[in-house]
Amino acid sequence: MNNLIEKKILLIICGGISAYKSLELIRLLKKKGAEVKTILTESAKEFVTPLSIASLSQDKVYDDLFSAENEAEMNHISLSRWADVILVAPITANTISKLSNGSANDLASTVILASDKDIFLTPAMNVRMWEHSSTKENLSKLKSFNYKIIGPEIGDMACGEYGEGKMTEPNKIITEIENYFSNLKTNKKFKVLITAGPTHEYIDPVRFISNRSSGKQGFEIAKSLSKKGFETTLISGPSNLEINKNVNLIKVETAKQMFEAVQDNLPVDVAIFSAAVSDFKIKEKKEKKIKKEDFLNLTLEKNVDILHYVSNHNSLRPKLVIGFAAETDDLKENAEVKLIEKNCDWIIANDVSKKSIGFDSDFNEVEIFYKDTKIKNENLSKKKKSAIADEIIDRVINQLN
């Protein structure tokens, strides 16, 4: 089945001898029924002409960030929003370096930086450039920013050398993009529920018990789910974070409200509980603000256990139930106990005693514990929470399929 019909592909061509392959790439994309728009970097014009690109794509070629005509017709923001995906083929060591440092000094890099879509990079360079430690470091950084890398291949190069660095052939690139859209189509049949953020348990109208959860990891997981085609509902405790408009966002404050929202949105295929729900609530909330001079004696009682309720439900239990465990010590032991006691399929645990990850940080490092003993526990090393989210959802997709 052709998964490229009417798909919008923004192709960015960088300067390198492999740029000639972009012509075949455009031809194959058009043959598959895709709509193609192109951006040429200044150096790319030394290898392919705007006229040849325009003839094949049947559309104008964009190349100047400061063109009044381009900005009036479709500025760099609109161009990045137009695309279903962005494909950079070839991408040079220079452009890889620019992107890894967040540079935006031409139309190509500005569009990429302004994009909210998945971006595929197809490297092509001399073997020594590819093997250079700075290139490897830059690519590692880009992977942590959720860029998807295709290739390169091993083979003979235009410079006469042999090794890794040769651009992947256009037909293989097409296959990668088709598989991407195929997965999106498959994922659309699955409904996913995710909880995120803290809860507030009120003492009186102005004071509450809570925790340090920012909700960042849960929001990134919801973004990843949505990007990969899942029908996504996010139930969030108090947070100022923003989410994609195609995610069904339900805002709550207390554990009780979160529990009721979860109940209202079952059944689902997958439930991911990343929220840091307060374990306790005030037994008797005061109706008026407590004054300093008032005697204060707080009586706590246990909150509803949302994860346990869902994972043990007879008729509404999702196919996959994933819980989170934020630990300060004995991470492995505590996670394994929670996995059994809550009857989860997975527990994703992180050590929140480390200041550089976890609460309120943009980075995380987690370990996934599986109920299925045939699957080995996995450690996802420190990277941005958005990249951690993508790795988690890739595993969810594998499990569902």
Instruction: Return phi, psi of residue 20, to 5°.
Output: -60, -25
Determine which one of 159, 298, 300, 316 is catalytic. 159
DSSP H helices in 216-286: 216-227, 255-264
Q: How far apart are CA 118 and CA 147, in angstroms?
A: 7
Which pair of structure tokens corresponds to residue 159? 């410079």
DSSP H or E stretch at residue 191: strand 191-196
Please tell me what DSSP assigns to residue 134: H
Secondary structure class of 274 (helix, strand, coil): coil
CB 181 within 8 A of CB 3: yes
User: Is 14 a catalytic site residue?
Assistant: no
Provide the residue type at 394 as one letter: D
Q: Any idea what the Cα angle at residue 268 is, between residues 267 and 273, rounded to 5°?
A: 110
Q: Are 9 and 25 in contact (CB under 8 A)?
A: no
Q: What angle do CA 334, 340, 344 make, to 5 degrees?
A: 105
* Dist CA 109 CA 321 (whole Å): 39
Q: Show the CA angle centred on residue 96, arms to residues 228 and 104, nearest 5°.
A: 85
Asked if 76 and 65 count as a contact pair (C-beta separation under 8 A), the reply is: yes
The tokens describing 112, both together, are 């990429």
- Which residues belong to the active site? 159
